[in-house]
Homo-oligomer: A and B are copies of this chain.
Amino acid sequence: MDKIARVNMTERKVTVEPLPEKYKGKGGRWLSSLMVSDEVPAGCHPLGPNNKLVFAPGILTGTRAPNSGRISVGGKSPLTGGIKEANAGTPFSQQLARMGYAALVVEGLVTDDTRWLLKLDINGGELLPAEDLKDKGAYESGNLIWEKYGEKTPFVVNGPAGEAKMAMAGLAFNDPEGRAARYAGRGGLGAVMGSKGLKAIILDDKDAPGVKPHDEEMLRAGQKKVADAILSHDITKKGGGLNSYGTAVLVNILNEAGGFPTNNFRSGVFEGASKISGEALAEAAEKRGGAGTMGHRCHPGCIINCSTVYAKEDGSEHVSSVEYESVWSLGANCGIDNLDHVAELIWLCNDLGIDTIEAGVMLGVAMEAGLAEFGDGPKAIELLKELYKRTPLGHILGQGAQFTGEAYGVTRIPTVKRQGMPAYEPRAVKGIGVTYITSTMGADHTAGYTIAPEILSVGGSSEPLSTKDKIGLSKAFQQTTAFIDAAGYCLFIAFPILDIPSGFDGVVETVNGMLGTNYTGDDVTRIGDEILRLERDFNIRAGIGKEADRPPEFMRYEKLPPHNVVWDISDEELDSFWDK
């Protein structure tokens, strides 16, 4: 991984350059955020010629380190107006790394309404006309690519929402079976790709040099420690929570805790929770049979296998994957407890190319505005279909929850920095609230998953309703997460490495084995902090400072059932996050 590919859409030119010294030894979110920070003017229009998209595999991506097949995509977000890093697990990332690319940068834009496909090879490659894919759904686009360029061709495609420059559009990478369904979903990077006229990127790995670790043996030793930890922890082992029930194993747990946002964050408990739970998914997989399965994986080398395939009643495939965040956002948050409706909504999101979290939060706000009744799945499905048609309503909804709320004068809009909140109620689980509020990304659970100690008793224990020490807790999680995102590891390795010290050592060892560095545990925090601060610095230059580190106002005065709690961590405490 010693070179960068650069695609200039204005000039329709692909070039390859050596990786500059300052970027060496960096990867994933570390590299994407650094390059965005270096190359994108913070004040630029996110859909204008000066924004860029940076694709960066993790430091370990392409090696045999388990669960290391993540790709980070960076750019200025059309949703938040700040820096954005969205990541996904996909064979695409592993292939890009093996082709020797530390990063692929897309810059400039076409000024007409044409569509292009980048065919990247180890020498650069070419931009090909892609009018045949124009406005095609992400699924169909992926299928057409495999038909035309061969099965197993790694790809990333933009859905019709991204082509329409809608701010909740994400980027769909291929899964091992070729579904365009592994999303770098958050923050509207699909709209950025849409603004550039780039519909898809495919990889031609002919003569790929592969990834060469600095110290193969050390890497192998680290790998084993990480794998052992994963395979021995209750949450991540074979037959463990994630493997058996998928991420939706969390539904009943969060609902019991009163922290499962329901009906646009009006309550922390959803009556229909069990019907959309991981247990219900597993039951459906067993009962319906056919394509339905638990324990699917998003990329080779994953040993957790938390992904799922949901089948229709007749056993034919409906959609993959059905995640906790999606059953929550498109289910409980909209008052919908019919798993088939939820599955259809997820399918539509995937095909449109939009973030399921943002879509569900948006639908909750739309219901708040009176565009549908809470619980009305068929009407929610209709609303999403407006995006394909590019109706005015589609143009409102496609811009996300904040925008939809503003269009209709709604005051109960559960967002931070204009990004919809994920599936944990900040009033009921304060630490994750601190993460939502202080994250450089806008409301984002993956930025610092304090749910581990607050709800799951992983990595210690912290009372969810207490405000005590939550700033420091979130900070520590955000730092570690940024390092994991840099390494290219799946965030779920955090469960075992938080509880099993040798697993944590293994993470550091794999990185050292790859890079030839002498990082220690302290460096994990230091590097994580460095990443957060460079992102924060970009945001400040973009006009997003401490005044944006705030919860939505209604959470300060509306009591959330069943605990009847408001947001009660002070602004001063929130501001102290960046002093720590």
Identify the A interface with B (CB < 8 A).
42-45, 47-50, 164-167, 191, 194-195, 391-393, 395-396, 399, 403, 406-409, 411, 540-545, 547-548, 550, 552-554, 557
Q: Chain B's nearest CB lies how many Å from the CB of A292?
A: 37
**CA of A392 to CA of B395, assembled, Å:** 9
**CA of A411 to CA of B548, assembled, Å:** 24
Contact check, B396 vs A191: say whether CB atoms are below 8 A apart.
no
Contact check, B50 vs A409: say whether CB atoms are below 8 A apart.
no
Contact check, B165 vs A409: say whether CB atoms are below 8 A apart.
yes
CB-defined contacts of A167 to chain B, threshold 8 Å? 406
Q: Of all chain B residues, which has the CB nearest A549?
A: B543
CB-defined contacts of A47 to chain B, threshold 8 Å? 409, 411
Q: Select the residue from A195, A411, A548 with max chain B CB neighbours within 10 A.
A: A411
Contact check, A48 vs B553: say whether CB atoms are below 8 A apart.
yes
Copies held by the complex: 2
Contact check, B191 vs A409: say whether CB atoms are below 8 A apart.
yes
Contact check, B395 vs A408: say whether CB atoms are below 8 A apart.
yes
CB-defined contacts of A411 to chain B, threshold 8 Å? 45, 47-48, 195
CB-defined contacts of A543 to chain B, threshold 8 Å? 543-545, 547-548
Interchain residue pairs with CB less than 8 A apart (25): A42-B547, A43-B547, A45-B552, A48-B411, A48-B553, A48-B554, A49-B557, A50-B553, A164-B409, A165-B408, A195-B411, A392-B393, A392-B395, A392-B407, A395-B407, A395-B408, A396-B407, A399-B406, A399-B407, A403-B403, A540-B547, A541-B547, A542-B547, A543-B543, A543-B545
Q: Chain B's nearest CB lies how many Å from the CB of A44?
A: 6
CB-defined contacts of A407 to chain B, threshold 8 Å? 392, 395-396, 399, 403
CB-defined contacts of A191 to chain B, threshold 8 Å? 409
CB-defined contacts of A44 to chain B, threshold 8 Å? 553
The contact of A391 among B45, B195, B392, B409, by CB within 8 Å, is: B392
CB-defined contacts of A399 to chain B, threshold 8 Å? 406-407
**CA of A542 to CA of B548, assembled, Å:** 8
Q: Of all chain B residues, which has the CB nearest A548?
A: B543
The contact of A392 among B392, B541, B547, by CB within 8 Å, is: B392
CB-defined contacts of A545 to chain B, threshold 8 Å? 543, 545
CB-defined contacts of A164 to chain B, threshold 8 Å? 409
**CA of A164 to CA of B550, assembled, Å:** 27
Q: Chain B's nearest CB lies how many Å from the CB of A166?
A: 8
**CA of A42 to CA of B571, assembled, Å:** 13
**CA of A197 to CA of B392, assembled, Å:** 27
Q: Chain B's nearest CB lies how many Å from the CB of A541?
A: 7
**CA of A391 to CA of B164, assembled, Å:** 20
Q: Chain B's nearest CB lies how many Å from the CB of A97?
A: 32
Q: Chain B's nearest CB lies how many Å from the CB of A137?
A: 19
**CA of A165 to CA of B167, assembled, Å:** 23
